[in-house]
Amino acid sequence: MSDFLLELAANPQFRKIVQTAGLPVPMPQQLERTDAPYAERPLRHASILVGGGLTGAMGAALGRALIEAGADPMVAGHTTAPQTFTDPAEAFGRKVQDASQHEGSVDAILFDATEIGRPEDLVQLHALFHDWIKRLARCGRVVVLGRPPEDASSAAEAATAGGLEGFTRSVAKEIGRKGSTAQLLYVASGAEARVAGPLRFFLSARSAFVTGQPLRIGRTVAGEVPRFERSLAGKVALVTGAARGIGEATARLLAQEGAKVLCLDRPEDDAAVAKVAHSIGGEAVLQDITAGDAAASILAAIDGGVDIVVHNAGITRDKTLAKMTQEQWQQAVAVNLGAVVRINEALLKAKAIREGGRIICLSSVAGIAGNVGQTNYAASKRGLVSYVEHLAAEVASDGITVNAIAPGFIETRLTAVMPVMIREGARRLSALGQGGQPEDVGHAITFLATPGSVGITGDVLRVCGGALVGA
């Protein structure tokens, strides 16, 4: 189902007429996306304005990450470029620019707030963004880095760190109409070197439909410095609900990064899932995940172990609570939550998930916020959030991360049959003013499946375009 307003907005003449006339018609920006595999220098020639502290371990990690990714950083708010940036630049035969000498727009703005500790320090955000936010290019990126509030040494420091979230979420909504995004990375002390992977994702076109999200990067799970190209080569991934939609997109993206993908779906979808598996060099696994023998069958299918488990399969059985049958309740909870718990229990008990593994569960913004007629669905999807938070701590010593993805309005065959006015309203209720694509969720899942995401566990990444409700 095409987005009529998005198509109209792509017409420069129509957009100009609407803007000139001041008509109350939302004009969403066509998002810049990519279907290319991960590259050694994904930010090649990207102009990135950097400000804030930029010293110590955080500054060194940022300087190295940006230079190695191919970016052209320019420093603001410093009389001379910090050594944390000039040293890696010289190693790569590059120079760090002085932001005051730059004319025109920038592709991204990055602010290091890890050194601020008092509420009055928050004015540094205004000092940088006031002059530069209007020079952020369309489909640009904003990333703010801070310390986790829970690690603060005082209430004032915690308040200051928490203020970064309100700031970033608001920036996301201000710049969303231009297709731009804003994220907050809370980086624990000692985990600075782990920002490279998240920066490559959040500063790239892979995160086109992710905005206004706070994520925590920590040291809970051990992991080596990753390679970024073909980082899943030699790994085995299991994707449930892989016959179509988000599952199919995820299977294709994981395979593109080198993984062998086991594509699981119901026996009724034999032809569809077999077609997907064949096209990516994977294997089809036919299994009803709610069946009593599901865990045993899956263990047999992954003989030799698995590195990545993506619990994507899900259903809705929507009715208001007074009209919902017990069977409808049980069906949604059994598929969306119960099967996930049972399958993971079996895989972990058999030690079938290898060291350095990744478990990724599909939650939902509707599950987090709640929705009329979806008490069963919301219970199951919100249950997954608490589930990953608890399970992450249990398996951290095995080098396994556990996270959830919470999609917002994603254009699939299910949304295509929604009443037109409900569908239009859902599309516009986000900072980006449009729905996402299955590939947007697939890119987020793939990021969390890569070695570069090792610092993130027990967290929820919302792929919702900055939904105005519940995100």
Q: In 29-122, which residue ranges form alpha helices assigned H by DSSP?
A: 56-68, 83-91
Annotated active-site residue 377? The verdict is yes
Structure confidence by residue, pLDDT tens digits, 34-52: 999 999 999 998 999 999 9
| Distance from C-alpha of 364 to C-alpha of 361, rounded to nearest angstrom | 10
Do 451 and 224 meet the contact criterion of CB atoms below 8 Å apart?
yes
Distance CA 379, CA 390 (A): 17
CA distance 346 to 339: 11
The one catalytic residue among 38, 186, 377, 387: 377
What residues contact residue 309 under an 8 Å CB cut-off, 6+ apart?
Answer: 237, 238, 343, 344, 347, 353, 357, 358, 359, 360
What is residue 151's predicted lDDT score, i.e. its pLDDT? 97
Give the phi and the psi of residue 177 in degrees, each rounded to 5.
-65, -20
**pLDDT grade for 421, boundaries at 50, 70 and 90:** confident
pLDDT tens track for 58-111: 999 999 999 999 999 999 999 888 999 999 999 998 889 999 899 999 999 999
Domains of the chain: 41-217 (3.40.50.720), 236-463 (3.40.50.720)
* pTM across the whole model: 0.95
Can you tell me which residue has the tokens 């390679």? 227
Instruction: Check: CB of residue 131 under 8 Å from CB of residue 100.
Output: no
Span 395-401, average pLDDT: 97
> DSSP character for 451?
G
Give the helix/strand (H/E) hosting 186. strand 181-187
437: pLDDT confidence band, cut at 50, 70 and 90? very high
